[in-house]
């Protein structure tokens, strides 16, 4: 039915439910909300298609009742709704299609209750990550959730996509921090989940909605756990000759029950980036500077056009570039693999934990590099991810893939992905988000093609090849970026028959299929 209603009629109907300034069909709004930060959308942008499928309408609800009315309208007119937080998702989860209505939740951005004695906070979904931490910090509290996108992502988006912050090894992922939700289902019902304390009354309904990417309900409120802000952070860097040795060190201290906040092991090439270029350019951008600088002894900064040409040339020969990165560059730099470990909390405890980790790492063959690599990382912890535009300007693309598996399969997974995609794109990785049972691998890949259409084909080929390699090697296809559109095809491989449970829930909670259709496995 939605397609039979004109855009103007939809806006009029929505204008009778919400206030005028909560509804827009203006072209700039429709274009701005036509995508999230899925890099595929950026390639389309380069191809001259800034908004291939803009939503019909953008709305900004301000209360849970607004969301209820929107959902009732959408169910009545069979118009799909796409919940939208910060739009920082990198899998196309918040990307609408024509005919759909984007529901931006950023005006629902209040802290409803800061329950200090019980270390809980009730917050609306549109709360920006950085603002949230700043407000908590005034009461000496923290969530401990620091995704690299903290400046441009929201609490609702974190919960919907099962986000992980940089300190997840100590504080857990967002699913470990949430104790209750308020959700509006596709029938317009308001469901409140969660119990005070660690109750054991049946299944955990909160977790049903965490990670559901807006397909089972729109999150309108969350109750989250908070902790005392750390009084001290201790960082230290260690060198290893090989990735395998660094992984063994991490496994050992994680299985001794030690809980660092930050654990990052960079492979040989990512080490060059982490130690030299972080914050000054994108990873692939830095690669070119580093390679050219080392090989030709260029000391002055390159002219912009030389840089773009060099970047294009380098990325058009990924096989060559990967061999260079694997073989020659580590020898030239002599750096091996960098491990950064951070602990935090009360000063004596943080220091004691750092000391124990230090002993374990040295015992596993690590070379002590002192505190500087960790301090360098902390200074640039939010910079690198936001500096990738240079590669897109030069006609290329960059993307990241975060997968995970158990300790015994990590190296196999790492090698399998590298081998599979090395002929197609330049690839590097670091290992972070460690657990006693395993760890996540964060791959960064960059590619280039002469024209954007070929670039899109290459991009799709790389993802299909990489995800196939991941599933063959027994890894999980995502650790914290979620599914969106980019990983849908592989959901069956990962979830098998349990996907039928999801479809059953969808029929009950969203019978008209108006909540973010075409995402997850549908």
Ligand X SMILES: Cc1cc2nc3c(=O)[nH]c(=O)nc-3n(C[C@H](O)[C@H](O)[C@H](O)COP(=O)(O)OP(=O)(O)OC[C@H]3O[C@@H](n4cnc5c(N)ncnc54)[C@H](O)[C@@H]3O)c2cc1C
**Complex with ligand X: residue 66 or 360, whichever CB lies closer:** 66
**Complex with ligand X: residue 100 or 422, whichever CB lies closer:** 100
Q: Which residue is nearest to ligand X (CB)?
A: 157
Of the residues 22, 34, 79, 88, which one makes contact with ligand X according to CB under 6 A: 88
Which helix (H) or strand (E) segment holds residue 28: the answer is helix 27-32
Helix 64-77 with 7-17: angle, nearest 10 deg: 140
Q: How far is CA 522 from the centre of its chain?
A: 21
Distance of closest approach, residue 265 Cβ to ligand X, in angstroms: 16
**Complex with ligand X: residue 93 or 396, whichever CB lies closer:** 93
**Complex with ligand X: residue 340 or 354, whichever CB lies closer:** 340
Of the residues 11, 25, 43, 94, which one makes contact with ligand X according to CB under 6 A: 94
- Report the distance separating Cα 289 and Cα 273, nearest Å: 10
Radius of gyration of the chain (CA): 23
DSSP string, 376-434: HHHHTTTTGGG--HHHHHTTEEEEEEEEEEEGGGHHHHHHHHHHHHTTTSEEEEEEEEE
Q: Is 89 in the site for ligand X (CB under 6 A)?
A: yes
Q: Is 87 in the site for ligand X (CB under 6 A)?
A: yes
Site for ligand X in 378-397 (CB under 6 A): 385-386
Pairing of strands 81-84, 57-59: unpaired
Burial code of 133-147, b = ≥16 C-beta within 10 A, e = fewer? beebeeeebbbbbbb
Distance of closest approach, residue 184 Cβ to ligand X, in angstroms: 9
Tokens standing for residue 312? 């294009």
Helix 39-46 with 452-472: angle, nearest 10 deg: 160
Distance of closest approach, residue 145 Cβ to ligand X, in angstroms: 9
Q: Is 469 in the site for ligand X (CB under 6 A)?
A: no
Count of residues that interact with ligand X, criterion CB under 6 A: 37
Which helix (H) or strand (E) segment holds residue 219: the answer is strand 218-225
**Complex with ligand X: residue 34 or 153, whichever CB lies closer:** 153
Distance of closest approach, residue 486 Cβ to ligand X, in angstroms: 11
Distance of closest approach, residue 367 Cβ to ligand X, in angstroms: 28
Distance of closest approach, residue 119 Cβ to ligand X, in angstroms: 23
**Complex with ligand X: residue 147 or 246, whichever CB lies closer:** 147
Please name the residues in contact with 34: beta carbons below 8 A apart, sequence gap of 6 or more.
Answer: 50, 51, 52, 53, 54, 55, 95, 96
**Complex with ligand X: residue 88 or 335, whichever CB lies closer:** 88
Site for ligand X in 50-69 (CB under 6 A): none
Q: Is 269 in the site for ligand X (CB under 6 A)?
A: no
Site for ligand X in 113-172 (CB under 6 A): 125, 147-149, 153-154, 156-158, 160-161, 163-164
Distance of closest approach, residue 231 Cβ to ligand X, in angstroms: 24
**Complex with ligand X: residue 223 or 322, whichever CB lies closer:** 223
End-to-end CA distance of the chain: 20
Of the residues 36, 44, 109, 268, which one makes contact with ligand X according to CB under 6 A: 36
Which helix (H) or strand (E) segment holds residue 270: the answer is helix 268-272
Site for ligand X in 475-504 (CB under 6 A): 480-482
Helices vs. strands in the chain: H and E counts, helices first: 22, 18
Chain residues in the site for ligand X (CB under 6 A): 36-37, 82-90, 93-94, 105, 125, 147-149, 153-154, 156-158, 160-161, 163-164, 213-214, 218-219, 385-386, 480-482, 516
């Amino acid at each position: 039915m939605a397609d039979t209603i004109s855009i103007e009629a939809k806006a009029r109907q929505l204008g009778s439910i919400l206030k005028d300034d909560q509804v827009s069909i203006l072209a700039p709004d429709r274009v701005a909300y036509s995508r999230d930060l899925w890099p595929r959308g950026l390639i389309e942008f380069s191809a001259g298609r800034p908004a291939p499928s803009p939503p019909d309408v953008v709305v900004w609800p301000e209360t849970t009742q607004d969301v209820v009315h929107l959902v009732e309208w959408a169910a009545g007119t069979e118009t799909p709704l796409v919940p939208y937080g910060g739009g920082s998702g990198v899998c196309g989860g918040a990307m609408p299609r024509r005919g759909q209505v984007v529901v931006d939740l950023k005006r629902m951005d209040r802290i409803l209750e800061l329950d200090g004695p019980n270390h809980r906070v009730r917050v609306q979904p549109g709360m920006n990550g950085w603002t949230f931490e700043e407000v908590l910090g005034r009461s000496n509290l923290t969530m401990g959730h620091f995704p690299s996108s903290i400046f441009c992502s929201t609490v609702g988006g974190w919960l919907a996509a099962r986000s992980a912050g940089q300190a997840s090894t100590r504080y857990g992922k967002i699913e470990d921090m949430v104790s209750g939700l308020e959700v509006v289902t596709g029938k317009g019902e308001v469901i409140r989940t969660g119990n005070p304390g660690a109750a054991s009354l049946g299944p955990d309904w909160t977790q049903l909605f965490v990670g559901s990417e807006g397909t089972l309900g729109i999150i309108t409120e969350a109750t989250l756990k908070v902790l005392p802000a750390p009084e001290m952070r201790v960082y230290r860097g260690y060198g290893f000759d090989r990735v395998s040795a660094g992984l063994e060190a991490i496994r050992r201290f994680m299985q001794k029950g030690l809980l660092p906040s930050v654990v990052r092991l960079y492979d040989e090439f990512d080490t060059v980036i982490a130690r030299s270029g972080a914050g000054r350019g994108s990873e692939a951008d830095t690669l070119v500077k580093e390679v050219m600088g080392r090989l030709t002894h260029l000391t002055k900064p390159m002219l912009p056009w030389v840089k773009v040409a060099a970047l294009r040339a380098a990325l058009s020969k990924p096989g060559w570039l990967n061999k260079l990165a694997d073989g020659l560059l580590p020898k030239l730099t002599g750096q091996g693999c960098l491990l950064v470990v951070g602990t935090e909390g009360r000063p004596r405890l943080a220091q004691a934990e750092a000391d124990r980790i230090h002993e374990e790492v040295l015992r596993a063959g690590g070379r002590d590099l002192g505190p500087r690599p960790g301090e360098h990382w902390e200074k640039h912890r939010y910079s690198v991810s936001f500096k990738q535009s240079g590669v897109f300007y030069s006609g290329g693309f960059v993307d990241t893939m975060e997968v995970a598996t158990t300790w015994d399969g990590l190296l196999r997974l790492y090698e399998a992905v590298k081998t599979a995609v090395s002929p197609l794109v330049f690839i590097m990785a670091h290992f972070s988000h460690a657990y006693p049972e395993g760890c996540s691998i964060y791959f960064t890949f960059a590619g280039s093609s002469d024209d954007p259409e070929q670039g899109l084909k290459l991009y799709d080929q790389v993802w299909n090849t990489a995800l196939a390699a991941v599933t063959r090697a027994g890894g999980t296809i995502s650790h914290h970026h979620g599914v969106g559109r980019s990983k849908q095809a592989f959901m069956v491989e990962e979830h098998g028959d349990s996907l039928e449970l999801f479809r059953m829930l969808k029929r009950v909670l969203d019978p008209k299929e108006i909540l973010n259709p075409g995402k997850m496995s549908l």
